[in-house]
Amino acid sequence: MKNKIKPIPKFKNEDEEREFWATADTTEYFDTTKTVELDLSKLKPSTESISLRLPKSTLLDLKMLANKRDVPYQSLLKIFLAERVEKELKSTSK
């Protein structure tokens, strides 16, 4: 016989929720016989700030290209770097 799933209570804040789940039996609140599909495709990877020195002319060109595409120049630079790194990795793995 299958147990009835209890409704998850409403919590005032994260601390209250944390305290609840620290002692609650999760099998009373979730149907563990059903699988859950997770879509993590839109999860953003961690980033790290760096300093990068570029010739002024390269930076101006990058800003001009970014302006034409209506994107921040830092974002365009990340796209360019990611594309080139992927290309280099593919060419060296052959």
Q: Of how many residues is the chain composed?
A: 94
pLDDT at 1 over 80: no
Q: How far is CA 33 from the centre of its chain?
A: 28
Phi-psi sector, 44: left (phi>0), alpha (psi -120 to 50), beta: beta
pLDDT in tens, 14-33: 999 999 999 999 889 988 88
Query: Is CATH 1.10.3470 correct for 47-94?
Result: no
The structure's pTM equals 0.52
Residues with Cβ within 8 Å of residue 72, at least 6 apart in sequence: 66
pLDDT tens-digit readout, 19-76? 999 999 988 998 888 888 888 888 888 889 999 999 999 999 999 999 999 999 999 9
CA quadruple 73, 67, 61, 63: dihedral, nearest 10 = -30
Residue ranges per structural domain of the chain: 1-35, 47-94
